[in-house]
């Protein structure tokens, strides 16, 4: 099997490293990570094991007949990646393993072979070509977008499973993507604004904000025709408090990592997507709008 990982940062390089033990994998990454990997390999530590991987990588995608192309970039880069490499997609299955809502729709403009992916795992940079896997919040899901499980989806899930990354096919991947988006919308920006790990966000004042974020997001998803895994927003909040936050309590927000490094965040594909979809259906999303404004404010301050 031949796989390429496009937009390979901490998530993509970690996945590429694990899959490289089973098949032919090539990672397209930033020059500094490529240089570091070429010098000394990719160091992966934490819950996926501690090891050093010799990983083929570069800043461009070699022409080849790929079985799967995994896009693992920030959502802001999805369109530019498709525009740069779309003429080399061929018949490959293009898989989005990204945060937020809207990535698969962009990819469908360039190929009909789209698989949606959802993974709740915490990745933290410890240096160039040095990634620590800090938390695992559950099993990864893959599904034909917008719905269904077929043989390419089953093969991909089985490959991840064999590589030690728990995975399974999901017949309604939009449901899984929205579940991950509610998790990210509730925790990621607040963790960044308050500079605390996720476990601190069960404090009553923070939880009051989280409740409103989730209620607005749940209403927007349902209005957009998504069948959620939970009957009500309250059921999801119970799941978040009892399972997801305890499993990822020590994780520090990826938005916090981005802001600290002077990078633009994915807020417009997460809370911004709730705001956008809510507006399209007449659903008020006041709290999500405020959260977006606060993150954009932090982005602008860090760039000064």
What per-residue confidence (pLDDT) applies to 301? 87
Distance in angstroms (rounded) separating the CA atoms of residues 102 and 99: 9
Topology of 174-303 in CATH?
A: 1.10.1040
- Does residue 303 have a pLDDT over 80? no
What tokens were used for 78? 């999805």
User: By the 8 A CB rule, do 157 and 142 touch?
Assistant: yes
What per-residue confidence (pLDDT) applies to 138? 87
Residue 136 CB contacts under 8 Å (≥ 6 apart), including other chains: 47, 120, 121, 122, 166, 247
- Does residue 178 have a pLDDT over 90? yes
Which CATH code is given to the segment(s) 2-170?
3.40.50.720
> Diameter of the chain by CA atoms?
54
Distance in angstroms (rounded) separating the CA atoms of residues 14 and 229: 28
- Residues 66-124 have pLDDT tens digits of 999 999 999 999 999 999 999 999 999 999 999 999 999 999 999 999 999 999 898 98
What per-residue confidence (pLDDT) applies to 128? 87
Q: Is 60 exposed, middle or buried (0-12, 13-18, 19+ CB in 10 A)?
A: exposed
pTM: 0.94
- Does residue 304 have a pLDDT over 80? no
Give which of 56, 76, 75, 163 is closest to 116, Cα–Cα.
75
Same fold, 2-170 and 174-303: no
- Does residue 38 have a pLDDT over 80? yes
User: By the 8 A CB rule, do 168 and 106 touch?
Assistant: no
What per-residue confidence (pLDDT) applies to 69? 98
- Residues 132-154 have pLDDT tens digits of 998 888 899 999 999 999 999 99
Whether omega before 146 lies within 30 degrees of 0, making that bond cis, reads yes
- Separation in Å, CA 210 to CA 47, 200, 207: 28, 12, 5
Percentage of the chain beyond pLDDT 90 is 91
What average pLDDT does the segment 267-285 reach? 98
Per domain, the residue ranges of the chain are 2-170, 174-303
Mean pLDDT, the chain, rounded, equals: 96
- Does residue 157 have a pLDDT over 70? yes
Q: Kindly indicate the confidence band of residue 250, based on its pLDDT and cuts at 50, 70 and 90.
A: confident
């Amino acid at each position: 099997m031949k796989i390429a990982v496009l937009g390979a940062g901490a998530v993509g390089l970690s996945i590429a490293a694990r899959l490289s033990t089973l098949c032919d994998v090539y990672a397209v990454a930033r020059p500094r990570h490529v240089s570091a990997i070429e010098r000394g390999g990719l160091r992966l530590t934490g819950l996926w094991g501690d090891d050093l991987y010799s990983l083929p990588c570069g800043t461009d995608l070699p022409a080849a007949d790929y079985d799967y192309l995994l896009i693992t970039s920030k959502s802001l880069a999805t369109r530019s990646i498709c525009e740069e490499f779309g003429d080399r997609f061929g018949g490959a299955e293009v898989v989005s393993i990204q945060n937020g809502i809207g990535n698969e729709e962009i990819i469908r403009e360039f190929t009909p072979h789209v698989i949606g992916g959802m993974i709740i795992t915490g990745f933290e940079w410890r240096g160039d070509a040095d990634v620590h896997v800090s938390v695992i919040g559950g099993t990864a899901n893959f599904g034909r977008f917008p719905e269904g499980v077929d043989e390419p989806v089953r093969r991909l899930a089985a490959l991840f499973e064999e590589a030690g990354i728990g995975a399974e096919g999901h017949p309604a991947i939009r449901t899984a993507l929205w579940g991950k988006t509610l998790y990210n919308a509730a925790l990621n920006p607040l963790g960044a604004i308050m500079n605390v790990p996720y476990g601190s966000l069960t404090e009553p004042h923070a939880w009051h904000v989280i409740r409103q974020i989730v209620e607005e997001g749940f209403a927007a998803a349902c209005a957009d025709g998504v069948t959620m895994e939970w009957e009500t927003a309250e059921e999801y909040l119970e799941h978040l408090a009892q399972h997801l936050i305890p499993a990822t309590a020590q994780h520090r927000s990826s938005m916090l990592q981005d802001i600290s490094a002077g990078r633009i965040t994915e807020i417009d594909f997460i809370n911004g997507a709730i705001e956008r979809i809510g507006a399209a259906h007449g659903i008020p999303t006041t709290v999500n709008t405020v959260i977006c404004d606060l993150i954009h404010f932090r982005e602008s301050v860090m760039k000064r």
